[in-house]
Structure 1
Amino acid sequence: MRRTARRLVVGGAVLLMVGSTAYKLGQSDVSKVEQTAGKPVEQMSEPELQAAMERAGVQEEEMTPEDERAMEAADREEEAAPVGR
């Protein structure tokens, strides 16, 4: 079963894959969003994450080609992993 969200740390940023959408936030912004929502970003749906970002006054950062490659690699790893992981 796929998690609601996945968190990857690339450089000083956090990449979040929520549903089919990727978000890039600074680590301090992730903390603000989690405090605002009262739960970890991995447990949020996409609408919950968007609402928490708005309430916390957090805007996503621009994804770089390096970020996109990291997300693609994580997707490949997850697809190759045994189902009972």
Structure 2
Amino acid sequence: MPNIKSAIKRVKTAEKANIANSQAKSAMRTTIKKAELALANNAENAKELLVAANKALDTAASKGLIHKNAAARKKSRLAKKAN
């Protein structure tokens, strides 16, 4: 544990950010899995879930949770499965 006050604060804020980022990344993965499952089963709401997955990927890329090229790659693969 650091002794300097600013370093102690950085540890606390880093922990909070880590928790928030983990939750956001997990939610993104869940959204993608739901979309993939719907596309595989030809579900009626597959297009809606695909839009939600694309939005989740864009949000994660803009927040820096995943690289923008990784988001583009995943979106491309989802679209390929949809068509």
Same fold (TM over 0.5): no
TM-score by length of 1: 0.28
Q: Which has the larger radius of gyration?
A: 2
Q: Where is the helix percentage greater, Structure 1 or Structure 2?
A: 2
TM-score by length of 2: 0.29
Q: Report 1 or 2 for greater relative contact order, CA contacts < 8 Å, sequence distance ≥ 6.
A: 1
